[in-house]
Structure 1
Amino acid sequence: MGAFPIDDIVEKPAFGTAPSHLAVAARYVFTPRIFDAIAATEPGVKGELWLTDAIRRLLEWGDGVRCVRLQDGERRYDIGTPLTYYRAFADFALADPEHGPAFKEYLRGCLQDTDEQDA
């Protein structure tokens, strides 16, 4: 499936209020205009600048924003917490053809050391 335009984007909508069944998988390609949008964006929760707000600014300015759906079988990773980030990192590291086998052995050693400490 090809790219399609969006007309809005929402950061973490409350349960039951999502405007669609789509989710952002945090892979972006921007033109330099994103920096203007970020500069024009007010800090949000905890004083953070949210990329979602900058994307909304681009939409307000009439800049086209396009998305691509994940293909069937493609996994979506949520890296919003340390644990989910670690899981995603481990999955990608293990799948790496060059470094995956060595990383797997490293993890085995870590688990063995942990098991011995817990015993």
Structure 2
Amino acid sequence: MKKIKKAIIPAAGLGTRFLPATKAMPKEMLPILDRPTIEYIVEEAIESGIEEIIIVTGKGKRAIEDHFDRNFELEDNLMKKGNFELLNKINQSSKVEIYYIRQKEAKGLGHAIWCARKFIGNEPFAVLLGDDIVQAETPCLKQLIDQYNKTEMSIIGVQKVSEEETQRYGIIDPHSIEGRTYQVNTFVEKPALGTAPSNIAIMGRYILTPQIFKILEKQEIGKNGEIQLTDAIQKLNEIQPVFAYEFEGNRYDVGEKLGFVKTTIDMALKNDEMKDELLKYLVEKLEKISRNYIS
């Protein structure tokens, strides 16, 4: 059995939901507290045992490379000041090898994954999407890797959503379940409201076998005029089983504004330095809103 050592992080999207902030700044670099969103994703990969990461970027994404590069002047300054805690924080990514490749055309997630085919080679690999941050006792990706080690088949991370939200996600049509693991009839990309086969949604974490690249190479255009990864996974499922695993943990959607704000608040409430003051502020704000509403 081949070990899962490599991961792809697609980061080539335009980030239009966050314009004008993302006109010059990659959406993956938008900060949640004191860390850019992509750093949460990279750290999950490291904690899951990933040894090499390739980040698929696009035009205007140079800030991502700069962030994960060494800054010797800054490191020397922190070392001289004895700020070893912060020095350790900025060097977390040095625990893994990070590479970059450009997606030259905005052809969708499936095409972004296909762009990394030469880096992956003929071995199973992980995919972590930057719009999903998962806080869990056991890292989300590690949970999927553990399941792959049992089945040696592709594993897709899923969680349940409301019926109204199903049109926003890839959705599975399960035909059996054992514990948290589903066998799947079909994978459907963003079904129209009221047509979803279930409310079990794909949540941005994947373990895939290398056979997916042959499918992506010939994959036709799907929803939104893009090459959809979900469509390719369905074709893979027709030739070899693809399982879905309902991972444990709190998943945060940082790909849209309200989700980003909720994530920031939740992270701040878990931060020892600011949680008390923030909680006090929120209580006062709610009391003021309530008084205004009553009056």
**TM-score past 0.5 threshold:** yes
Correspondence 1:83 to 2:242: no
Q: With a CA cutoff of 8 Å and minimum separation of 6, indicate the structure with the bigger relative contact order.
A: 1
**Which amino acid in the other structure matches residue 56 of structure 1?**
Q
Would the alpha carbon gap of residues 24 and 7 (structure 1) be closer, same or farther in structure 2, given more than 3 Å must change? Answer: same
**What does residue range 1-119 of structure 1 map to in structure 2 within 5 Å?**
1-60=179-238, 62-71=239-248, 74-79=249-254, 81-83=255-257, 86-87=260-261, 90=264, 94=267
> CA–CA distance in 2 between the matches of 1:65 and 1:91?
36
The Cα of 1:85 is off from its aligned counterpart by 6.7
> CA–CA distance in 2 between the matches of 1:88 and 1:32?
36
Question: Helix, strand or coil for the counterpart of 1:56?
Answer: helix
Question: Helix, strand or coil for the counterpart of 2:257?
Answer: helix
1:27-84, Cα deviation, whole Å (9 max, x unpaired) = 1001111111211211223431111111011123x2110111133xx333345x4426
| Conserved? CA contact 1:41–1:57, under 8 Å | no
RMSD: 3.1
Question: Helix, strand or coil for the counterpart of 1:63?
Answer: coil
In the alignment, structure 2 segments of 5+ residues that lack a partner are 1-178, 279-295
In the alignment, structure 1 segments of 5+ residues that lack a partner are 109-119
| Conserved? CA contact 2:252–2:263, under 8 Å | no
**Which amino acid in the other structure matches residue 252 of structure 2?**
Y
> CA–CA distance in 2 between the matches of 1:90 and 1:52?
29
The Cα of 1:10 is off from its aligned counterpart by 1.0
| Conserved? CA contact 2:180–2:247, under 8 Å | no
**Which amino acid in the other structure matches residue 188 of structure 2?**
V
Instruction: Decide which structure has greater strand share.
Output: 2
1:73-108, Cα deviation, whole Å (9 max, x unpaired) = x333345x442674587479x48x9xx779x7xxx9
**Which amino acid in the other structure matches residue 245 of structure 2?**
V
| Conserved? CA contact 2:184–2:243, under 8 Å | yes
Percent identity of equivalent pairs: 34
* TM, length-normalised to structure 1: 0.61
**Which amino acid in the other structure matches residue 250 of structure 2?**
R
Q: How many residues align?
A: 97
| Conserved? CA contact 1:25–1:77, under 8 Å | no
